[in-house]
Amino acid sequence: MNGRRRWGRCLQVARLSVREKQFWLPTHREQTVFAKLVRIAPTVLMRDTPMLPETPGDCLKRTGTPEGCVWDLSKVLAPTPYPRTSAWQLPKGASILDLNDRICPNGQCRAITNGRALMSDRHHLSDSFSKTLMDAFEPLLANE
């Protein structure tokens, strides 16, 4: 094994930005980190999800109706969402998973989607909504 530990089937999902503190790795540093990660295991980079202006719960309390809690995706995404590295610049073994079309269909982010709260706060998907996205991860985890 040449002194290297054998990991078997392994997958990493990486998210390195901390948008709330306006910390971003420059693109060249992202690429360095990604190159190191793919040496360990195939790596999936999760595209940034929306940052709502308020929690779904606060919006529903304020408006009293789910129809009053809808935001344009283009207005709630970071101007340079993570990862900043383009897909064509990624090392072999890395890929980007962008679920924003599923999170905000037709460019509209709704506090309540199919009876489920979209977010648990302003930026983190709720457990119940996350379960609706499981099928997007299955191909990444399937044995080759």
At 33 the pLDDT is 86
Judge whether residue 19 has pLDDT over 50. no
* Helix (H) or strand (E) segment spanning residue 97: strand 94-97
User: Which of 9-13, 36-40, 90-94, 121-125 comes out lowest in average pLDDT?
Assistant: 9-13
Residue 15 has pLDDT above 70, yes or no: no
Give me the phi and psi of 132, to 5 degrees please.
-75, -10
Q: How confident is the model at residue 23 (pLDDT cuts 50, 70, 90)?
A: low
> For 53-79, what is each residue's pLDDT tens digit?
999 999 999 999 999 999 999 999 988
Q: How far apart are CA 99 and CA 2, in angstroms?
A: 38
Please give the Cα distance from 84 to 86 (Å, whole number). Answer: 6
**139/97 Cα distance (integer angstroms):** 11
CA angle 94, 85, 120 (to 5 degrees): 80
Q: Is the pLDDT confidence value at 131 over 70? A: yes
Q: What residue has token string 């995404």?
A: 77
Higher pLDDT, 100 or 44: 100
Domain coordinates in residue numbering, the chain: 12-141
Confidence of residue 142 (pLDDT cuts 50, 70, 90): low
- Residue 6, judged by CB atoms within 10 A of its CB (0-12, 13-18, 19+), counts as exposed
Q: Which amino acid is at 137?
A: F
Is residue 104's pLDDT more than 50? yes
Residue 126 has pLDDT above 70, yes or no: yes
